[in-house]
Structure 1
Amino acid sequence: MHRAASETPFPPRLMIGRPELALMAITLLWGGTFLIVHQAMRHSGPLFFVGLRFGTAALMALPLAMPVLRDVTRREWLAGTTIGLGIFAGYSLQTWGLQSIPSSTSAFITAAYVPLVPILQWIILRRRPRLASWVGVVLAFIGLLLIAAPKDGLSLGRGEALTLISTLAIALEIIFISLWAGRVNVARVTFIQLAVTSILAFACMIPAGEAIPPFSWTVMLSACGLGLMTALIQFVMNWAQQSVSATRATLIYAGEPVWAGLIGWIAGDRLPATALLGGALVVAAVIASEVRFERNRAP
């Protein structure tokens, strides 16, 4: 009787703070990059554009990192390089795969990073996800499949295999950010990871046989604009994931195709009913993952 009187169920409440709101904002920004990249790819190869984009982003981040760059530590070099490797592999492999497979198939396979993150977080960081996080992961994954489900089925060729490997890199990037969060300087690590990504992309052009494209204002303006956006996105990710777990961050990032689809709709694309349902499920996943059931304990 005493337990029932002193401990009563508390209604579920949403735990959304400034870090989560910041991640939602950059996810919207992230989704808006698809149209820009789509236009730029008509005038440039994938590795050159990735190198130019992240090189521009590194230059944008340099003024913030310069005052503290002298004090960079070995841990920060390791963190920035590790995260940069994940970013480079994810962006490059996904773009490379898109040369031989439809975008809908690529999006379908890329959705696999959503359930990969909590599994890798459990294995690498030893952080067991809450039940609400697993529910959110399932809802988000189903939603992403409905948004980008290919019409002609899924076959595992060269392009599909490259894209599938890229999902592992994307998941590892999110894990690496959480691994080093709170233990390094955000400005220094952000600059290092952006510079590493750019250097690797340019360096891999030679073995990949990709030539430097002719000068194009479309490529230059797109790279500069995306470079600024990329620098902002990486700064916010590194800052917010100091207090937001990798699983929660992934569920918020899962809203990227929703925003991309909405922006595409404004530009003239028309989404089928299944894609709209998928978008609703992704939004529901973010909300479900943030609901916590607590009990009101009497003093």
Structure 2
Amino acid sequence: MLHNAEQDKPASSRLMIGKPELALIGVTVLWGGTFLIVHHAMRESGPLFFVGLRFATAALATLCLAFGVMRGLTARELIAGASIGLGIFIGYTLQSWGLQTIPSSTSAFITAAYVPLVPILQWLILRRRPRLASWIGVALAFAGLILIAAPRAGLTLGRGEMLTVISTLAIAVEIILISLWAGKVNVLRVTVVQLAVTALLAFGLMGPAGETMPALSPFILIAATGLGLMTALIQLVMNWAQRTVSPTRATLIYAGEPLWAGIIGRMAGERLPGTALIGAAFIIAAVIVSEIRFGRRKPEKAAAA
């Protein structure tokens, strides 16, 4: 995800929604829909095979765009792509595993908690002290997780919820790794490597994990390859749109991802308890609060007479 400094714009232009904003809204709708697709796919496939096929498709699609620049692949880019790919593999495999037993909307709301976790993990790993807003975001996310777990006896997270929480930590680490390598590598080459590494790890660990290859039904093939193409498309759209959309505005748009997942899940028949819905609202608030930078805007200098 590319982040640019927020440009000063007239107040009226800030309220307008242009093509980049509409593109990012479309990305969040696609994101929200992926949870339900994976949830249903886990009834027919194990998580490792599905993740492997999904990211192999994404890697091949991205390779078609990056083929001309792959000759310049360096050892640093291989290391960067492999480390990011490991984070993606852990995050998406555990998320898919969790979706075997929990609703897609629950998974989406828990996964959204990675946003406030990133600055806290940066503090632990890179010693970058988080802002007060980050701590508030973590507190809201934690409260949201407790409320999502409230329907269970003793406020405990079930197996599916716990796997998703761990996957969220892996996704947060992945974001930190991307920021560590930013500006030091070719983004397109590293993207191909990280997607390919994710696929290779998933396929390679099927045997040790005891996961067998499922029957290749039309649904599994379409779902996995479709999500792979969607993954490549989403990355390209984000990189294009965020050249002109500020990080704060983009974050507000991305916060709608679990909402879309909840809407799509409800249309498919999922029903979350009232306490879980309140918890979901807390997590969305955590995403928004942790990313918004509060502070006074510098007054504009008066024009010379």
Q: Shorter chain as normaliser: what TM range?
A: 0.7 to 0.9
Counterpart of 1:5 in structure 2 is none
TM-score when scaled to structure 1?
A: 0.76
Within 5 A, what are the aligned runs for 1:195-214?
195-214=196-215
Residue 178 (structure 1) aligned with residue 186 (structure 2): no
Within 5 A, what are the aligned runs for 1:1-299?
25-99=26-100, 101-103=101-103, 110=111, 113-139=114-140, 142-143=143-144, 146=147, 148-153=148-153, 154-155=155-156, 162-235=163-236, 255-270=256-271, 273-274=274-275, 277-278=278-279, 280-281=281-282, 284-285=285-286, 287-288=288-289, 289-292=291-294, 293-296=296-299, 298=301
Q: Give the distance between the partners of 1:252 and 1:125, measured in 2 at CA.
A: 28
Deviations 1:123-170 (A, max 9, x none): 334433333444445445545655x44511444676665444323211
Q: Give the distance between the partners of 2:177 and 2:198, measured in 1 at CA.
A: 15
Q: Give the distance between the partners of 1:98 and 1:39, measured in 2 at CA.
A: 8
Q: Give the distance between the partners of 1:27 and 1:63, measured in 2 at CA.
A: 25
Q: Give the distance between the partners of 1:123 and 1:109, measured in 2 at CA.
A: 21
Q: CA deviation at 1:204?
A: 0.5
Q: Residue type matched to 2:151 in 1? A: K
Q: Residue type matched to 1:174 in 2? A: I
Q: Give the distance between the partners of 2:63 and 2:254, measured in 1 at CA.
A: 26
Q: Which piece of structure 1 moves more, 106-115 or 251-260?
A: 106-115
Please tell me whether the aligned partners of residues 142 and 281 of structure 1 are also in contact (alpha carbons under 8 angstroms): yes
Q: CA deviation at 1:109?
A: 6.1
Q: Give the distance between the partners of 2:94 and 2:122, measured in 1 at CA.
A: 22
Q: Give the distance between the partners of 1:125 and 1:193, measured in 2 at CA.
A: 22
Deviations 1:8-66 (A, max 9, x none): xxx9xx89999988666533321111221122222211111110011111111111110
Q: Which piece of structure 1 moves more, 17-26 or 134-143?
A: 17-26
Residues 178 and 246 (structure 1 numbering): CA distance in 2 closer, same or farther, change over 3 Å?
A: farther
Residues 156 and 259 (structure 1 numbering): CA distance in 2 closer, same or farther, change over 3 Å?
A: closer
Residues 140 and 112 (structure 1 numbering): CA distance in 2 closer, same or farther, change over 3 Å?
A: closer
Q: Give the distance between the partners of 1:172 and 1:184, measured in 2 at CA.
A: 18
Q: Residue type matched to 1:90 in 2? A: G
TM-score when scaled to structure 2?
A: 0.75
Residues 157 and 291 (structure 1 numbering): CA distance in 2 closer, same or farther, change over 3 Å?
A: closer
Q: Residue type matched to 2:298 in 1? A: R
The alignment partner of 2:72 has SS state of coil
Q: CA deviation at 1:174?
A: 1.3
Q: Give the distance between the partners of 2:80 and 2:240, measured in 1 at CA.
A: 14
Unaligned runs of at least 5 residues, structure 1: 1-10
